[in-house]
Amino acid sequence: MHKIDFNDRWVFIKEGKESYIEKEIPDGEYITLPHCFNGIDGQSGDGMYKGKTCYQKKVALTGEELREYHYLEIGAASLVSHVYINGILAGSSRCGFSMYRVFLNPLLKEGENLISIVVDNSRFDDVYPLMADFSFYGGLYREVSWITTRALHFELLDNSRDGMYITQKAIKNGIYELKIKGSVINELHNKLESKIKVTLLDKEGNGVLSKTMKCAVIEKEEFEFIEELNQPRLWQGIEDPYLYTLKVELYQEEQLVDERNLEIGFRTIEITPDKGVFLNGKPIKLNGVSRHQDFAEVGNALTKEHMELDMSLIKEIGANSIRLSHYQHHDYFYTLCDRAGLLVWAEIPFISVPSTADKENQNAKDQLERLIKQAYNHCSIYCWGIQNEITIAIENEQIYEMVKELAAIARNLDAVRYIAQANIHSVANESSLNDLTDFVGYNLYYGWYYKEMKDLAVRLDEFHKVRPNIPVMVTEYGVDTNPVLHSYTPSVKDYTEEYQLLFQENALKTFKEREYVLGGYVWALFDFGSEIRNEGGTKGKNQKGLVTIDRKIKKDTFYLCKAYWSKEKFVKLAGSRFVNRHQEENDMVVLSNVNSVKLFVGEKMIGERNDHEPVKIFKGVKLAHGENFIRVEAVDSEGNCYYDEMFLNRVKDMDLSYVLKKTEEKTTVTNWFQKFDLTNVQEVAIKEGYYSTFDTIEELYKNEEAKAVFKKYFGDLAENPQMATMRGLMTIDSMSKRSRFNIPKELLSVINKELNVIEKRK
């Protein structure tokens, strides 16, 4: 197989005319892949383009070249894409985060060939994600490659990346089984004799294993190697991410015709409900971060340099695990995780609401198959996430069946790794949803969206008490934080760095103190685009990141996590962006993983701390009017010194630029008891054949009388873009179970009294 980059000089136009399928675009722009057409508007909050676009490129082929076999590999195209060769459809994809390949030969001709790829990020009722708190960027946003093969080659069209699957499994006493399973394709369909050779090399290039198998191929022939290794050097996560190289070579008449070079690691993962996670028998806490794949002004069209920058920040913070949310990420990033020793939660965009148009849930199944087949050979991946908050609109048996089916598919495709899910907080501890995967994650935002920070510990303890045999972790936790906002008295929804620091420390302490908690994934490492957002003084972005979307500002909480997780010694003064201080006495917060710390104002030492606490607070530090030079000095046990410094201004009056200007918060309701008479309400006995609060909003909207009743109580709520997505699932009854609607039970009876006299038409 010969694979070349096919990324330069594409012609792009933000239109989807049918004529562009077979005719050249007249006035397009030349671009280089990867390319995202929402790099700016997907992060602006002012509306983003959603619709068809077209990418074109010409390629000239000789008659000699046409005797070979050609494929186009599209790294990813969001959300739906179609590939045309000389005006004829060659292939398509409705999995906008997965790689796919198209066989080209039947449509290629000698001379010039026109390739047109139509990419559409419009909403499709049967393509996930349907609704989520991130921008659904469009574009041919990962690399495209041109693949040329001989007649005999490894499988290219089974939705996998490598055409083979490498499984490592511990047997006993340090002996590991290595299984290599794959397929060989013969394009000529006449019997060809071949030889497959596998060689395992250690990091120094020394041969550890070498085996050869003869194989006669007519059309397609499967092969399998099962070998044992005694005492291989293990992949020990971030402590020692040791990787071997597996070479798999295909020969025809002693000539090499195809090969794969794969980095693999040997390791075991055990997840327990009471003692947490064990990597190769050693207990670890999952100190995790979550990551979306976008970047400032380029959307999701990241280059390798972008991904390497992200990985450098993940290494710096000291995380040992990462949740790659909420879809399949670039294969190169999984490779970086292999090399860095990060344990990866990989998942699909079966998120928020299930499709009502795709009754078989086929799109979720397709995306799961591609994720597992394409990422199977990455040893960093320890689990497959099959749903995220899928019960936002409603929780019922139908959703349970969908999740159960996805779990079965995942187990069939990969019998070794764990199956996981991430539930919204409203899923009850007792819910049967929690029985469908090997372990459970909860997205918990106590102290931000609901209740108080201390309730995080209460909820986890309650879950462990009720479900002691189910391992649990926190798959999301965080608060939106604008690094220009600051407060002496941080509080919920003030969006300050100071509140994020309090929130994060509470979570880290909660996880650390509970052996049974597997760990947590802070939401998120980086701010990310979310077209629906306008809060915290910024539009178009979710600001829960520990780092800004351009990767330029590390918020104080980044260093808090580093103090808890990293072995790289450092010291950091929190509050360096809170420059103008109007109070004389200030608490100085020092973040460090060094025990001995001294604080100075000017040349005067203010105080000293000697303890293991990652957060060291020096209370009541007095600032003089004007500029104050603050310095912190830390000395480790070996006498190495670490420093940080900042300038603070003592000013007369509060700097109001640090305070978010309050806007009137729009809520679904004000006070139901004031709007409607809810006194002396009698419960209504629901009659069959008539409308009620148990009918979906979509059903109510099909009848003008029932629709009028809904609008009387909820106005135009159903026309809201997010609610419109859920109309086929959500009922007034299920709305009442969501705290944000604040619906009292008395109101349900009042509404039913009006709805249950409207007869359903047969």
Note the pLDDT of residue 37: 98
pLDDT at 668 exceeding the cut of 80: no
Closest CA to 140 of 54, 70, 207, 25: 54
Question: In degrees rounded to 5, what are phi and psi of residue 657?
Answer: -70, -15
Torsion sign over Cα 417, 423, 427, 428: positive
Rounded Cα distance between 334 and 345, Å, is 10
**Which token pair is 103?**
């066989």
* Residue ranges with strand state E in 157-313: 164-172, 175-186, 192-201, 207-217, 220-230, 244-252, 255-264, 269-272, 276-279, 282-284, 286-291
Angle between helices 556-565 and 304-317 (to 10 degrees): 60
Note the pLDDT of residue 505: 98
Q: Annotated catalytic, 389? A: yes
In the predicted model, what is the mean pLDDT of residues 95-101? 98
SS3 195: strand
Rounded Cα distance between 164 and 126, Å, is 30
- Report the chain's terminal Cα–Cα distance, integer Å: 61
Note the pLDDT of residue 683: 84
Domain 283-568 in CATH 3.40.50.11290: no
pLDDT at 673 exceeding the cut of 80: no
In the predicted model, what is the mean pLDDT of residues 215-223? 96
308-324: pLDDT as tens digits: 999 999 999 999 999 99
731-756: pLDDT as tens digits: 998 888 776 788 888 899 999 999 99
- CATH topology for 164-264 is Immunoglobulin-like (2.60.40)
Note the pLDDT of residue 664: 46
**Which token pair is 684?**
């209504």
If pLDDT is split at 50, 70 and 90, which confidence band does 708 have? very high
In the predicted model, what is the mean pLDDT of residues 493-513? 98
pLDDT at 659 exceeding the cut of 60: yes
- Cα Dmax for the chain: 90
Query: Are 164-264 and 283-568 in the same CATH fold?
Result: no
pLDDT at 667 exceeding the cut of 60: no
Note the pLDDT of residue 223: 97
Note the pLDDT of residue 724: 76
Alpha helices in 206-346 (DSSP H): 304-317, 331-340
568-612: pLDDT as tens digits: 999 999 999 999 999 999 999 999 999 999 999 999 999 999 999
Superfamily for the 581-658 domain: Immunoglobulins (2.60.40.10)
173-207: pLDDT as tens digits: 999 999 999 999 999 989 999 999 999 999 999 99
Rounded Cα distance between 683 and 750, Å, is 8
In the predicted model, what is the mean pLDDT of residues 615-640? 97
**Which token pair is 529?**
């685009």
CATH of domain 2-149: 2.60.120.260
102-121: pLDDT as tens digits: 999 999 999 999 999 999 99
pLDDT at 665 exceeding the cut of 60: no
In the predicted model, what is the mean pLDDT of residues 315-339? 98
If pLDDT is split at 50, 70 and 90, which confidence band does 674 have? confident
Mean pLDDT of the chain: 95
Note the pLDDT of residue 502: 98
In the predicted model, what is the mean pLDDT of residues 416-422? 98
DSSP state letters, 611-630: SS-SEEEEEEEE--SEEEEE
Note the pLDDT of residue 736: 83
Q: What is the DSSP letter of 593?
A: S
Closest CA to 557 of 499, 489, 628: 499
If pLDDT is split at 50, 70 and 90, which confidence band does 542 have? very high
Angle between helices 304-317 and 331-340 (to 10 degrees): 30
635-657: pLDDT as tens digits: 999 999 999 999 999 999 999 99
Cβ burial of 72 (10 Å; 0-12, 13-18, 19+) is buried
**Catalytic-labelled residue, pool 369, 389, 497, 498:** 389
Count CA within 13 A, CB hemisphere, residue 134: 26
Domains of the chain, residue spans: 2-149, 164-264, 283-568, 581-658, 672-755
